[in-house]
Amino acid sequence: MHGKRISPAWRDTARAMSEENVETFRRAVEAYARHDDDALVELFDAEIEVQPALVVTLGGEATVYRGHEGVREWLRDTDDAFVERSVVVSEVLDLGSRLIAHGRTRFVGRASGAATESALAWVVDFSRGRVIRLRSYLDPTEAFKAAGLSE
């Protein structure tokens, strides 16, 4: 037989780590919604990469924010543009060290006062219990494609 046998204990460990990742994502969404930047940054690895879809939607270029200071910059950029932000997650697909989630987001522009609501999906990668990469997409199909899956 070729390959590695996985013991039941290993499967239990992998399952527990996967559940921890889903819980970490849930806590990150909650921290983001309540504008708790410190709590959010704490859930991210020091080498985090965040690629938010919203920057492109606002006419900016695709941006990757790197590291904890990059995350803080992303949050400042978001707060500079919007007076209100909310996110509702409707489904999470647990893939072990990666998850795909989708739901809806709502923003109210700081300058215009205009409200925008949209579908939003995330592909989130984990290592050692921390988020190492977070990519968001306005089209859930794009998130599935980015993760190598079909919807």
Higher pLDDT, 8 or 4: 8
Average pLDDT (52-66) is 74
Domain assignment of residue 151, yes or no: no
Give the count of domains, the chain.
Answer: 1
In this prediction, what percent of the chain has a pLDDT beyond 90? Answer: 65
pLDDT in tens, 20-37: 999 999 999 999 989 999
Dihedral of alpha carbons 118, 119, 123, 128, sign: positive
Residue 1 lies in a domain: no
pLDDT at 63: 83
Within-domain flag for 2: no
Q: What is the reported pLDDT for 151? A: 57
Is residue 108 situated within a structural domain?
Answer: yes
**Whole-number pLDDT of residue 77:** 87
CATH code where residue 138 lies? 3.10.450.50
Task: Give the other-Cβ count within 10 Å of 63's Cβ.
Answer: 16
